Amino acid sequence: MAAIGIAGLVKRFGAVTVIEALDLEVGAGEFFTLLGPSGCGKTTLLRIIAGFERQNAGDLQVNGRLANDIPAHRRDMGMVFQNYAIFPHMSVFDNVAYGLKQRKFSHREIEAKVSRALELVRLEGYERRFPDQLSGGQKQRVVLARALVIEPQVLLMDEPLSALDAKVRVGLRRDIRLVQQQLGITTLYVTHDQEEALVVSDRIMVMEAGEIRQLGSPREVYEDPANLFVATFIGTSNLLDGRVDRSGGVSGVQVAGARLDLPDLPAADGTELHLALRPEHLTILDDGPVAEGVVALEGVVELVSYLGSQSRIAVRVPGVAEVVEVEAPSAAPASASPPGRAVRLGFRPESAFLFAAASGERVR
């Protein structure tokens, strides 16, 4: 049984439709991430589930019960907000104990549960501190403990890490994932950071303008994007304009003066396409002959960015609007190319994602 079921959900603010007929199921114990650009409706969806907004149409079920009419304070969901929302006039202990007191636990139980929760988020010994004596990361841990300690049916997190600096963010997201797996708690997580989504999620729902663009595991959305939006929103993609070429026996695509053989293309001759190529699928070729099945493009190195073990080499290719980014080990000779050097890029046609230029849908 799904922990959360959403059917035909519509949300409008005045005349603006923010969410249009959304269907969704989240399994029990799943870490489910809503990922999408700013303003696409992630927060709105989360707030509808939490009961802070009401949908204009559609149903929300939680663990098999219809939840449409349950007021926010009876939904039994733990929520973690972007800007902490810590109670500034209460100690860490009182913050975490707040929901427990509401649930009329005994003193002994409250103390035991609070200290267990603080242990879980690695804040033992901070009980007596006040929020103004905590760092941003610590505040967010308190708020996480506050949400977890009530053992909610669902944990809701709205960009819980976006107010923190990069290093704290990486540490805390690992902790969030570990705690979630340890407790097996169904989690809905909102972020617009695609890397974060890939790292923590069981499944990701990529949203654009209130609609689902793809729903799948991190591996699926990265390695098998359903459309151009997902391919460019998640990870880096080099975009090349191409055209279906059915002249000759086997179907193919004309790109930047080269022809890629791609048998069985389900598209008419002359169809405009976008090719998306991940940087790691491109290589800088050495001077020898090109291997069987590899397509080569001529270009000129514009800039090499050193990223540690890997480097990004930006190559200007005639006939391609944007520079093409190539990833190579920093130790490789290509990573030492001076700007202006002529190089050849190589890739295998089957590694490219093909999208219809008109609709953005995946062709192959």
Partner 1 sequence: MAVPAGSRRLDLWTVLTLAALAVLGIFVLWPLANVFTASFYGEFSGSLGLENYATFFGSGYFRRALWHSLFTSAMGTLLALALGLPLAVIAARYDFRGKAALRVLVLLSLISPPFIGAYAWIMLLGRQGLVTQALAGIGIGLPTIYGAPGIILVTALNLYPLVFLLVHGALLRIDRSLEEASLGLGRTRFQTFRSITLPLTLPAMATGALLVFLGVLSDFGTPALLGENYPVLATLAFTLFLSEIGGNPAMASTTSVVLVSVALVLILLQRWVASRRNYASDAINRPEILRMTGWQRLVFPAFAWGLMAIANLPLLIIVYTSFLETSGPVFLQSFSLDSYRQVFHLVRGAIVNSFAFSGMALALIVVTGSVVGYIISRRDTMLTRVLDTALMIPYVIPGTVLGIGFITAFNQPPIWITGTMAIIVAAYFIRRLPYMVRACASYVYQIDRSVEEASINLGAPPAKTFMKIMLPLMAPGILAGAVLAWVEVINELSATVVLYTGATSTMPIATYSQVLAGSYGPAAAVASLLILATTLSLVLFTVIGGSDRELTV
Ligand X SMILES: Nc1ncnc2c1ncn2[C@@H]1O[C@H](COP(=O)(O)OP(=O)(O)OP(=O)(O)O)[C@@H](O)[C@H]1O
What x-and-dash track marks residues 126-145 binding partner 1 by CB under 8 A?
A: ----x-x----------x--
For the chain, how far is it from start to end, CA to CA, in angstroms?
34
Q: Does 20 bind partner 1 (CB under 8 A)?
A: no
Residue 204 C-beta: closest distance to partner 1, Å: 24
The correct pick among 4, 62, 79, 324 for binding partner 1 (CB under 8 A) is 79
As a whole number of angstroms, the distance between CA 77 and CA 195 comes to: 26
Closest by CA position to 67, among listed 13, 8, 6, 151 = 6
Residues within window 143-172 making contact with partner 1, judged by CB under 8 A: 143, 146-147, 150
> Of ligand X, partner 1, Mg ion, none, which one sits near residue 51, judging by CB under 5 to 8 A according to partner kind?
partner 1
The correct pick among 75, 139, 173, 192 for binding ligand X (CB under 6 A) is 192
Q: Does 102 bind partner 1 (CB under 8 A)?
A: yes
Q: Which is nearer to ligand X, 16 or 358 (CB)?
A: 16
Residues within window 24-53 making contact with partner 1, judged by CB under 8 A: 50-53
Phi-psi region of 293 (alpha: psi -120 to 50; beta: other; left: phi over 0): left
Q: Does 40 bind ligand X (CB under 6 A)?
A: yes
Q: Which is nearer to partner 1, 27 or 88 (CB)?
A: 88
What x-and-dash track marks residues 37-56 binding Mg ion by CB under 5 A?
A: ------x-------------
Q: Does 81 bind partner 1 (CB under 8 A)?
A: yes
Beta strands in the chain (DSSP E): 2-13, 16-27, 31-35, 57-62, 65-66, 77-80, 154-158, 186-191, 203-208, 211-216, 238-245, 252-255, 258-261, 272-277, 283-285, 295-306, 310-316, 324-329, 342-347, 353-356
Q: Does 38 bind ligand X (CB under 6 A)?
A: yes
Kindly list the residues in this chain that would bind ligand X in the complex (CB under 6 A): 13, 18, 36, 38-44, 192
